[in-house]
Amino acid sequence: MINPSYPALLRPVPAVLRSFVSGSTPTGEPRMDAMSLELYRYAVGNPGWSRLAASEALGLTMRDVDLALRELTERKLISAQASGGEAFVAVSPDVALADLVDADERAVQNLKTRISAQRRELSSLVPTFLEARKHMVSSSSVETLEDPHLIHRVLIDYGRDVTDKVYIAQPGQGSTADVHEESVRKDLDLLERGVRRRTLYDVSTRDHVPTRKAVAAIQQGGGEFGALPFIPLRILIFDEKLALVGRQSTREDKAALVIRDHSLINIFTQLFEVAWELSEPFLSPTANRSPLTSMQRSILQGLAAGLSDESIARRLDISVRTCRRHIAWMLETLSAESRFQAGVKARDAGWV
């Protein structure tokens, strides 16, 4: 017999039920079909119902009832009655949802626990690794570091302990604004501690806005900056204790030579000081109204020296294609028929 309250179940489905049985699931599974939803409504109002009773009440074939029952069972919305037999009862969507995701939630929680344990275990080894690596580096007069993260770690460790001077020769183009922002803070701290801070840049970097802003900020704090037509090596010197020299075997080579030998550090320091005497102030105004950028003037100087496009590009840390694009523009601007003629005209105009 049909439960007299069944017609009332034809009213709109509660929100929690609608969210569970309509639409797609978070995993993209198809929504529950109308037949399954109709059987679920019937089950809610008729505890202990049977397949035959549902078929008669809803006008569904036994096959349709079985299909809908299978879908509801998979969603944990229907369960067999505890007394046994073929009687079924409806399960609240909230309870069914908890039953469905409980195993997954436990698996996720267990995974998070394992990840946290592994992170704690491996993180505890970092100081040991760094200390052992530092000891190995300190025991060798020249050590090659391939890992950029380890190079950065060495810079932080010895930059923190510097007391006298920091000399830097930086070839190529300038860094990003984010990198400069961090550098400005560290350099101003060094200057407040009385450390001499000198940096040599390639003249082509003068047009790089983030670099100019960083130079202006550090210069106000007492930092010194010079510019040269060409910086051959990336060098960082900390007091008389440590020098880092870029290996630069290829353009993409990020490895560094860590030098601790006092004699070698002294040689690099003297080379830097000679280069410093030959440099000009980084922020000095140009004496002419050249339409060329600093990059283009550097390219012209390379052409005047007889360098190939590849050599000029490598010096300035730009692509060969970019270098050639600048050369083509300058030939057109100077109305020059050859690269040599472009160099002569630029010199006569006082542009280089």
Q: Is 185 exposed, middle or buried (0-12, 13-18, 19+ CB in 10 A)?
A: exposed
Average pLDDT, the chain: 79
State how beta strands 224-228 and 196-202 pair: parallel
> What pLDDT does 271 receive?
92
Spell out the domain ranges in the chain.
6-100, 143-281, 294-348
> What pLDDT does 133 receive?
64
Q: Which residues contact 303 (CB under 8 A, 6 or more apart)?
A: 312, 327, 339, 340, 342, 343
> Looking at the domain that runs over 6-100, which CATH code has it been given?
1.10.10.10
Give the N- to C-terminal CA distance of the chain in Å, as an integer.
103
> What pLDDT does 285 receive?
59
Distance CA 327, CA 304 (A): 12
**CB-CB contact of 234 with 268 (8 Å):** no
pLDDT tops 70 at residue 20: no
| Most confident residue range from 101-105, 202-206, 338-342 | 202-206
pLDDT tens string 238-247: 988 889 998 8
pLDDT tops 90 at residue 225: yes
The CATH superfamily assigned to 143-281 is Endonuclease Chain A (3.30.870.10)
Nearest 10 degrees: Cα torsion 10, 11, 12, 13 = -60
Strand order in the sheet with 242-246: 142-145, 256-259, 242-246, 235-238, 165-170, 196-202, 224-228, 280-281
> What pLDDT does 200 receive?
93
Short-list 222, 232, 225, CA closest to 302: 232
- Domain 294-348 falls in which CATH fold? Arc Repressor Mutant, subunit A (1.10.10)
> What pLDDT does 13 receive?
43
Query: Tokens standing for 348?
Result: 């006569």
pLDDT tens string 250-302: 777 888 888 888 889 999 999 999 999 888 888 875 544 567 777 787 787 77
pLDDT (average), residues 223-252: 87
